[in-house]
Amino acid sequence: MSFASVLVLNGPNLNLLGTREPAIYGSETLDDVAKLCRDAGERLGLSVDFCQSNAEHQLIDWLHAARTKVDGIVINPAAYTHTSVAIADALSAIGKPVVEVHISNVHRREAFRHHSYVSAVADAIIVGCGTQGYVFALERMATILKNRAAK
Ligand code: DQA
């Protein structure tokens, strides 16, 4: 039984996980990450919807649709993290709790990865924990949603 629903959204190039720069992103595929999230969701009492797109407008459309459907958003915006005011605006507009995840430690990488437009609208940020970061993000989201429900 789930007490809340969470959309886990993944941005561009994350469909290539497993083959894409494995020294940085590891060898697990996006399907492996989806399973990790569904298993964590079951354990935490969250129903998890898991999506990926390479298109900014698709991510934004899913966020708009989530406004009336889900309780929280876990998002790895990938490269759009560093470029997209539009995704940050969509997250603000829908007014749901947000946990931002990055598989790699973006702060140990190129300077252009150090700034995130999404972080300013996120309740929590998890970086550099590999794909386990998604599990941490869902754990944090479960706590945020339980705390809100208790108020
Ligand atoms: C990423 C980090 C981003 O800088 C990069 O563009 C990605 C993945 C991560 O999960 O580590 O595509 O969000």
- Give the pLDDT of the chain (151 residues) as one tens digit per residue: 789 999 999 999 999 999 999 999 999 999 999 999 999 999 999 999 999 999 999 999 999 999 999 999 999 999 999 999 999 999 999 999 999 999 999 999 999 999 999 999 999 999 999 999 999 999 999 999 999 989 8
- Atom number of ligand 1 nearest to Cα 25: 11
Q: Which domain range does residue 24 map to?
A: 4-150
CATH number of the CATH domain containing 44: 3.40.50.9100
Structural domain tally of the chain?
1
Evaluate: CB of 103 within 6 angstroms of ligand 1. yes
| HEC readout, the chain | CCCEEEEEEECCCHHHCCCCCHHHHCCCCHHHHHHHHHHHHHHHCEEEEEEECCCHHHHHHHHHHHCCCCCEEEEECHHHHHCCHHHHHHHHHHCCCEEEEECCCHHHCCHHHCCCCCHHHCCEEEECCCCHHHHHHHHHHHHHHHHHHHC
From the list 25, 80, 117, 134, the catalytic residue is: 25
Looking at the whole model, is its pTM more than 0.95? yes
